[in-house]
Amino acid sequence: MRITNKYGLPEAIVNAVQQRKASDGRISVTSLIDSPQIRQLVLDHWDELEDDASDRLWALMGNLFHDFLKTNSNNSFVEEELISNVNGQLISCRTDIMEDGGIISDWKVVSVWHLKFGLKANVEKQLNCYAYIWRKSSFDVTKLQAHLLLRDWTLNEKLRYNDYPPIPFQTVEVPLWTKEEQYNYITRRIAFHTLPPADKTCTDEERWRKPNKLAIMKEGRKTAVRVFDSVKEAEKHMDENKLDNKHSIVVRPGGYTRCENYCIVSKFCPQWAKEKPKEPLTEE
C-alpha cells in the first residue's frame, strides 16, 4: 500500500501512518468483526492500494494515545498481543489494558456524537472477542469498559446543553457476554471470512447505509419545510397542515456512506461497481 501526501504533511506523520500487510494467515479481531469482502480485497490488491496520510490523522492520534498508556500505566498487561486458535483459524488481539481484577479497558479517541448516541455495536463485539481470547488463555475476565477521549468537546457546548459531557473524557461500561456467546459469535464470523470470494458481499450495516428521506418542499424555497422517514408521514403532515399545491414531496436518496467516501478498496469492489451512481457523460 502506498501512502500519499497530498497536503504536504510533515515527513514524521507520513512515516508514522505506514501499514504492513497481514500475510501470516491470522485475522485480527478488528478485521474479524468487519466486512470479509473488504479484508479479502485489501489482501488481494495490497500493492495497488493508495491512501493519503491526511485520512489517517485521527487514527494516528489514537496510536499516540496508546503509546502514552505504555509509559504511564502500572498495570501488568498494556498493549498485550494474544493469538488464539479458534477452530483452526488464528485470531489475534492487541488489548489496550488488562487491568487488575480482570478488567479489559479499551481506550478510544472519538467525537462527542459517538458518546451521545451510544457506543457503536462494534465496540461491544470487539471487546467480547478480546475477552474470549483472554479467557481461552486462562485469564479471568470480570468487566469490559471503554475509556473515551472526546476530541471535539468544547466548553461552550457544555454550558449550552444539560446532557453534554462535563469533561472531555468518559468511561462507559460494555456488556460482557458469556464465554459460550463469545465463542458462537467468533465462529460465525470465521465462517463468513472463509466463504469463497464471490460470496463475500458487504451488508448494509458494513456499508453504513443511509435510508431515503422524504422532504416537503415549498415552491421558491431552497430548504425543506420538514423531512420524514416515510411517504405516509409526509402525506399525513401535508393533510393535517392543509398545505397547498405549492408544496410537494421530494425523495432525497440515501446511499452507502462507506462505499462512497471511506472504503479504500471501493474501486476494486464488484458489489459497488454494480451499484454506484453512474457519472454523467460529458460532451467533448
Report, as an integer, the average pLDDT of 252-261.
Answer: 91
Segments forming the whole domain that contains residue 145: 2-199
- Judge contact between 42 and 49, C-beta under 8 A: yes
- Vertex 153: Cα angle to 8 and 115 (nearest 5): 105
Cell match 514524521: residue?
12
Q: Which of 133, 164, 199 is the last residue of a domain?
A: 199
pLDDT tier for residue 278 given thresholds of 50, 70 and 90: low
Q: How many domains does the chain have?
A: 2
Helix segments in 142-248, DSSP class H: 155-160, 179-193, 231-240
pLDDT computed for residue 202 by the predictor: 96
Residues 153 and 63 in one domain: yes
Q: What percent of the chain has pLDDT over 70?
A: 97
Residues 125 and 229 in one domain: no
Element (H, E) at 43: helix 36-44
pLDDT at residue 282 greater than cutoff 60: no
Residues 107 and 229 in one domain: no
pLDDT computed for residue 281 by the predictor: 43
- Judge contact between 144 and 128, C-beta under 8 A: yes
Helix/strand/coil for 205: coil
Residue 145 forms part of a structural domain: yes
pLDDT at residue 55 greater than cutoff 70: yes
Q: What is the spatial distance between Cα 111 and Cα 46, in angstroms, rounded to a whole number?
A: 30
Dump pLDDT digits (tens) for 84-142: 999 999 999 999 999 989 999 999 999 998 877 777 789 999 999 999 999 999 999 99
Provide the whole-model pTM.
0.85
pLDDT computed for residue 23 by the predictor: 62
Dump pLDDT digits (tens) for 7-38: 999 999 999 999 877 667 899 999 999 999 99
Dump pLDDT digits (tens) for 145-154: 999 999 999 9
pLDDT at residue 194 greater than cutoff 80: yes
Strand partners, 95: 80
Q: What is the spatial distance between Cα 272 and Cα 123, in angstroms, rounded to a whole number?
A: 26
Report, as an integer, the average pLDDT of 176-186.
Answer: 98
Q: Which of 199, 219, 241 is the last residue of a domain?
A: 199
Q: What is the spatial distance between Cα 129 and Cα 229, in angstroms, rounded to a whole number?
A: 35
pLDDT computed for residue 279 by the predictor: 57
pLDDT at residue 76 greater than cutoff 80: no
Q: What is the spatial distance between Cα 206 and Cα 198, in angstroms, rounded to a whole number?
A: 17
Element (H, E) at 136: helix 121-136
Dump pLDDT digits (tens) for 200-253: 999 999 999 999 899 999 999 989 999 998 889 998 998 989 888 889 999 888
pLDDT computed for residue 277 by the predictor: 73
Residues 95 and 174 in one domain: yes
Residues 162 and 260 in one domain: no
Residues 271 and 228 in one domain: yes
Name the maximum alpha-carbon separation found in the chain: 70
pLDDT tier for residue 284 given thresholds of 50, 70 and 90: very low
Residues 29 and 61 in one domain: yes
Residue 111 forms part of a structural domain: yes
Q: Which of 199, 225, 255 is the last residue of a domain?
A: 199
pLDDT computed for residue 269 by the predictor: 96
Residue 84 forms part of a structural domain: yes
Residues 140 and 82 in one domain: yes
Residues 173 and 248 in one domain: no
